[in-house]
């Protein structure tokens, strides 16, 4: 597999990146592209570089992406991830540098030149990929599949109906979802079913290596936020983690091909993903909507990954 990770790191993005690094080698991961979302893009780029240095994977190139959504002002989520994006994770700063090429130029070039189709993991707003497709629609032919965290069939986490990633750049999400690419959606429907329960946190703690300590910090760093305590008394979701787990073992998840559209006009419901899970519209199915998973197996992949990384 040729894998590109597109991300706005982000505490849960960082966990997802660690799991991807544990399971795919430098030949497979062609690059990490960053995008504005949880934090301004420069902060996210630094975080991607810090994680690569921390795991000894400096050969993987990082390309900085769009600093704002396609046609809106940026909304960030520092209140969840901290101003550093990693809630003060104690790993060293890095001297590693981002690549000169922008993320959009890099993705475009790869899709033009690669003789193997590329799988894209999207962990943040879809601005980079949406921009690439908008400028060069024919390039979708060279995308194997997209697996993304975003959207929800039921309630949102940023507005009553919209999830953060689709809310931040609904226009980009609309372009991607209607591109004809094979797409797998991991929305709040499933991320909320896979939480950091006490026994899971204890098991991770027992692994007690550099990677498990970092994961534990990232995964528990939101626990004391009053809103989080109220909504998730038993443990929090680690949203983006599921994208990497899906890439490692898709058999853990159950999906159904349905129509998913993103609201881009209404002020009230902006960024909502309208998931036709019952097939009651006449709109064409365009997304493999993931609606169930084996949560224990998700965590087994996480534990294995921590052990592999050391």
163 binds, among ligand BDR, Ca ion, none (CB under 5 to 8 A by kind): ligand BDR
**Smaller CB separation from ligand BDR, 108 or 124:** 124
CB of 124 to ligand BDR, least distance (A): 6
- Interface with ligand BDR includes 10 (CB under 6 A)? yes
157 binds, among Ca ion, ligand BDR, none (CB under 5 to 8 A by kind): ligand BDR
* Tokens at 243, concatenated: 């994208």
| 24-32, 90-98, 163-171, 228-236 -> range binding ligand BDR (CB under 6 A) | 163-171
- Interface with ligand BDR includes 255 (CB under 6 A)? no
72 binds, among ligand BDR, Ca ion, none (CB under 5 to 8 A by kind): none
**Rg for the chain, CA atoms, rounded:** 18
One of 6, 64, 240, 263 touching ligand BDR (CB under 6 A) = 240
Question: Using N-to-C axis directions, what is the helix angle for 241-248 and 11-23, rounded to 10°?
Answer: 20
77 binds, among Ca ion, ligand BDR, none (CB under 5 to 8 A by kind): ligand BDR
Question: Using N-to-C axis directions, what is the helix angle for 241-248 and 295-309, rounded to 10°?
Answer: 90
Burial class (CB in 10 A: 0-12, 13-18, 19+), 281: exposed
Show the binding pattern over residues 56-95: x = contacts ligand BDR (CB under 6 A), - = does not.
Answer: ---------------------x--x---------------
Task: Indicate if 81 belongs to the active site.
Answer: no
Q: Which of 259, 284, 253 is nearest to 273 (CA)?
A: 259
**Smaller CB separation from ligand BDR, 13 or 189:** 13
* Tokens at 28, concatenated: 């497979």
Instruction: Considering only residues 207 through 226, tell me which ones interact with ligand BDR, judged by CB under 6 A.
Output: none
| 92-100, 158-166, 221-229, 302-310 -> range binding ligand BDR (CB under 6 A) | 158-166
| 95-103, 161-169, 271-279, 302-310 -> range binding ligand BDR (CB under 6 A) | 161-169
- Interface with ligand BDR includes 124 (CB under 6 A)? yes
CA distances from 259 to 6, 27, 120, 192 (A): 24, 34, 20, 21
Handedness of CA 202, 208, 245, 217 (dihedral sign): positive
**Smaller CB separation from ligand BDR, 39 or 207:** 39
- Interface with ligand BDR includes 183 (CB under 6 A)? no
Instruction: Considering only residues 118 through 177, tell me which ones interact with Ca ion, judged by CB under 5 A.
Output: 123-124
- Interface with Ca ion includes 85 (CB under 5 A)? no
Closest-CB residue for ligand BDR?
164
One of 133, 149, 215, 219 touching ligand BDR (CB under 6 A) = 149
CB contact at 8 A, 139 and 132: yes
Interacting residue ranges for Ca ion, rule: CB under 5 A: 8, 10, 13, 123-124, 240
Interacting residue ranges for ligand BDR, rule: CB under 6 A: 10, 12-13, 38, 77, 80, 123-124, 149, 157, 163-165, 239-240
Please list the active-site residues.
239
């Amino acid at each position: 597999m040729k894998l590109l990770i597109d991300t706005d790191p982000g505490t849960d993005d960082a966990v997802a990146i660690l799991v991807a690094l544990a399971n795919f080698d430098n030949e497979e991961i062609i690059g990490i592209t960053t995008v504005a979302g949880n934090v301004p893009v420069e902060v996210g780029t630094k975080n991607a570089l810090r994680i690569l240095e921390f795991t000894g994977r400096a050969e993987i190139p990082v390309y900085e992406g769009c600093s704002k959504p396609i046609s809106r002002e940026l909304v960030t989520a520092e209140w969840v991830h901290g101003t550093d994006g990693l809630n003060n994770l104690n790993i060293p700063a890095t001297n590693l540098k981002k690549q000169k090429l922008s993320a959009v130029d890099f993705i475009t070039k790869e899709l033009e030149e690669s003789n193997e189709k590329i799988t894209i993991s999207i962990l943040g707003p879809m601005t980079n990929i949406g921009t690439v497709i908008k400028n060069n629609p024919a390039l979708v032919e060279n995308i194997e599949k997209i697996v993304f965290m975003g959207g929800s069939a039921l309630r949102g986490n940023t507005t009553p109906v919209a999830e953060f990633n689709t809310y931040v750049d609904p226009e980009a999400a609309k372009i991607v979802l209607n591109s004809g690419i094979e797409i797998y959606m991991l929305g709040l429907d499933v991320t909320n079913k896979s939480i950091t329960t006490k026994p899971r946190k204890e098991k991770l703690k027992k692994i007690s290596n550099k990677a498990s300590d970092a994961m534990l910090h990232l995964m528990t760093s939101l626990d004391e936020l009053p809103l989080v305590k109220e909504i998730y008394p038993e443990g929090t979701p680690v949203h983006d983690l599921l994208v990497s787990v899906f890439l490692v073992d898709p058999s853990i998840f159950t999906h159904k091909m349905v129509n998913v559209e993103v609201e881009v006009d209404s002020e009230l419901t902006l960024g909502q993903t309208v998931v036709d899970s019952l097939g009651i519209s006449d709109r064409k199915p365009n997304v493999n909507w993931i609606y169930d998973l084996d949560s224990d197996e998700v965590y087994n992949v996480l534990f294995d990954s921590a052990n592999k990384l050391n």
